Amino acid sequence: MSWKIILLVLALVLVAAIAYATHYYRKFKIIQPYPYFLFRYLFLDYAMFFVNWAPSSLGMFLRLLFYKLVAKHVGRNVTIQMGVEFIRPENISIGDNSGIGYQNFFEANGGIEIGQWVRIGPNVTMLTTNHIMDRRDVEIKKQGAYSKPIVIGDDVWIGCNSVLLSGVRVGKGAVIGAGSIVTKDIPEYAIAVGNPAKVIKYRE
């Protein structure tokens, strides 16, 4: 097979991928800007996959280097474990000395701000986007969506398998118990657990 045929095949594959991505974008009314969506669909997801799952200290170094380039801000001494997935990393800010646990999922259409010295356990999910569902005569999927930022203060500890929903703010020094669903703001130095998360006491 000559190089001309190879180039032709690659060009056809690229055109087909762009056509499918465009159809997907329009069908599901993706709220990301189209150029970014296309770049992510064609290139960024593949690069992020290999970086996110690279093992050992080399993987840690690659993730830190990669996200310093594409994220809004990544501070000093930040650790990002294997399997973390960032949607719209350019809207994510991580403060100094913070750690992101294994297989976290951060959807940051509305922006995610993580303070300094924050500890986030494995399998934590942050979702800044929610569906609009006010009307009953229109399918939820067709009503669109809205995004609000998630803000995590300094010195916060978020336990494994927790979920933080759009618009919540977790105050400085707060603790979120494992498996909690955070739907409302959590005050400073509060310890909150449950679904939905409720304050059970404050750190002394």
- Residues annotated as part of the active site: 131
- Identity at 122, one-letter amino acid code: P
CB 74 within 8 A of CB 64: yes
How far apart CA 143 and CA 156 sit, in angstroms, is: 35
Contact between 129 and 31 under an 8 Å Cβ cutoff? The reply is yes
Partners of 99 in beta bridges = 79, 119
Closest by alpha carbon to 113, among 98, 123, 103, 124? 98
- 71 three-class SS: coil
Residues 103, 122 contacting (CB under 8 angstroms): yes
Angle between helix axes 56-70 and 45-52 (nearest 10 degrees) is 150
